[in-house]
Amino acid sequence: MGEAGMSDWHTFPDRHGLDRALAMEVLQRLEDALESRGAAYLVVSGGSTPAGLFSILAQAAIDWPRVTIILADERWVDTGHDDSNERLVRSTLLKGPAADAQFLTLIPKPGDAEANIAQLSETVNALPRFDVVLLGMGEDAHTASLFPCAEELEEGLTTTEGALMTRPSTAPYQRVSLSRRRLQHTECGMVHIVGEAKRSVLERAEHNPDPLRHPVSAFLGAEGFDCWWSP
């Protein structure tokens, strides 16, 4: 356990060990949810960090048709685009046994982003409490698409809506992000990072919690998200 008011850290000597241990933890929590309420809800993040984790989860023999998977955020691009998080999830996680999971897209249809976000927010808020939320983090301490440089950051940290559009000035594309409130409505939350640089950023965010400067700090400490890390 961590110090009072601090997140627990789970550290591993290499990425393979981290991926295996994190996969076991996630699968156990999904199994518990399936047994207790007959359904499970898993929130995942994009980027290169979770690719190994996804390949392990994909082969697990759990009752995937009763598991709903949703992304924490998405770039506002076509789902076939190289930079689409959904494309990543479909190619690495929704394979093998896990191909039978339910997947809730963050981009219901191309076109009117504002109409879509209202519909999406309503859909997301209607979902029950999540079982597992897996967040990543950038070296600017953003998580999901809650960027320190985005004008919408404060909205993302405070809104009661389930999702919102953000437009980071330091990263390409406008984006869809689940809100802080919706992401925190979970039985278990984890921040999954690799590398010394990101560890330093996450430790700084933990010890100097200012969500407007370090958005990831909104999920640390008393908010109960653990930190999972390897070099």
Find the CATH number of the domain harbouring 144: 3.40.50.1360
End-to-end CA distance of the chain: 21
Residue 3 resides in a domain: no
If you average pLDDT over residues 198-214, what whole number do you get? 95
Lowest mean pLDDT among 59-63, 79-83, 151-155: 79-83
pLDDT score at 5: 62
- How confident is the model at residue 4, as a pLDDT? 45
Strand ranges (E), 5-115? 9-11, 40-44, 67-71, 73-75, 102-104
Nearest-Å Rg of the Cα atoms of the chain is: 16
Sign of the dihedral defined by the CA atoms of residues 114, 131, 90, 22, in that order = positive
**Whether pLDDT at 170 is above 90:** no
Q: What is the pLDDT of residue 76?
A: 87
What CA–CA distance (Å, rounded) separates 168 from 156?
12
Q: For residue 105, tell me if it sits in a domain.
A: yes
Handedness of CA 29, 163, 82, 49 (dihedral sign): negative
Tell me the C-alpha distance between 116 and 177, whole Å: 13
Whether 45 maps to a domain, the answer reads yes
Whether residue 230 is contained in a domain is answered as no
pTM for the structure as a whole: 0.95
Q: Which domain holds residue 194?
A: 9-214
Per-residue tokens: 95: 């394979």
The predicted structure's pLDDT at residue 111: 65
For residue 219, is it within any domain?
A: no
> How many separate helices (H) and strands (E) can be counted in the chain?
7, 10
Q: Is residue 224 part of a domain?
A: no
User: What is the structure's pLDDT at 77?
Assistant: 87
CA angle 185, 187, 189 (to 5 degrees): 80
Whether residue 229 lies inside any domain: the answer is no
Which helix H or strand E contains 166, and what residues bound it?
strand 163-166
Indicate if the pLDDT at residue 156 is higher than 90.
Answer: yes
3 falls in which pLDDT band (50, 70, 90)?
Answer: very low
Residue 231 located in a structural domain = no
Burial class (CB in 10 A: 0-12, 13-18, 19+), 87: middle
In the chain, the number of structural domains is: 1
